Amino acid sequence: MIYHAKQGQVNYGYTIGILMLDTNVPRILGDVGNAASYSYPIIYRTLEKVTAQKITNKDEMVLPEIINRGKELIQNGAKAITADCGFLLCYQNEIRQALKVPVFLSSLLQLPFLLHMLNETEKVGIITADSTSLNKNLLSEIKIYDTQRLHIKGLQNMPFFYDACINESGLLNDEGIKQEVISLATKMVHDDPQIKTILLECSFLPPYTNAVKDAVQLPVFDYKTMIDYVYHSFQGPF
């Protein structure tokens, strides 16, 4: 077999490229930002000076930075581009058009699938980093206008999560956050028995997916389920 080099490419073997916010948060095993969370190689780029606050405020510097770093990932072999913040959904259409490869920036892209998976009286419970930012304007980006079948709860008032993931203290209490997520999920399902599946929106939350499954005995989706799904569409599971 004859192999041809791609001009300007020095790294090979990647399928998924991940754009990371410029944060000061420890990325533990299971987190989107920890390369050991995957059974396949991942290539990363940091979105310099891009924060969650700048995304929700639609700062003018965010879009060109995403496009430039996305192009770097593609140049180095990435075949599909994701990111580590569900609120980047508001840039999904612009980035997809600019990069010319499959783009799936937000874990929320799984929502239409989950809603169609359930019957019309059943709901999806969403645990998000900040419920004040997960609003109807954001959901309209994926053509979800009726939110009656969504039960949304945020972690912004949970002290361990807030300190590590919003305040970015540089310290992360793994057990503390796990108990906060379990408590929120358990209460959500208890208060609303029509919830039949849960989506963990935030990229910090996949380390706690199995604990939530055990606690509520429901299927749980997260950023990692989405990334694995796309990866296997390119490479196959075997």
Give 16-106+225-235's CATH code, choosing from 1.10.287.610, 3.30.110.30, 3.40.1390.30, 3.40.50.1860. 3.40.50.1860
* 238: pLDDT strictly greater than 60: no
Cβ-based neighbour number of residue 238 at 10 Å: 4
Residue 236's pLDDT is 60
pLDDT tens, position by position, 34-50: 999 999 999 999 999 98
Q: Are 86 and 201 in contact (CB under 8 A)?
A: yes
In angstroms, the CA 152 to CA 193 distance is 14
Helices then strands, counting H and E runs in the chain, come out as: 9, 8
The predicted model gives 108-122 an average pLDDT of 96
pLDDT tens, position by position, 160-174: 999 999 999 999 999
Residue 103's pLDDT is 97
Percentage, residues of the chain above pLDDT 70: 99
Class of domain 108-221: alpha beta
pLDDT tens, position by position, 180-217: 999 999 999 999 999 999 999 999 999 999 999 999 99
Residues forming beta bridges with residue 43, ordered by sequence position: 17
**Residue from 234, 211, 232 nearest 30 by CA:** 211
Strands, E, within 22-179: which ranges? 42-47, 80-83, 103-104, 123-128, 150-154
In angstroms, the CA 32 to CA 38 distance is 9
* 237: pLDDT strictly greater than 70: no
pLDDT tens, position by position, 47-59: 999 888 888 888 8
Residues forming beta bridges with residue 83, ordered by sequence position: 19
Between 121-125, 126-130, 145-149, 154-158, the lowest mean confidence (pLDDT) is in 145-149
pLDDT band for 7, please (50, 70, 90 cuts): confident
- For the chain, the average pLDDT equals 93
Residue 25's pLDDT is 95
Tokens of 48: 């310099």
Q: Where in the chain is the domain with CATH 3.40.50.1860?
A: 16-106+225-235, 108-221
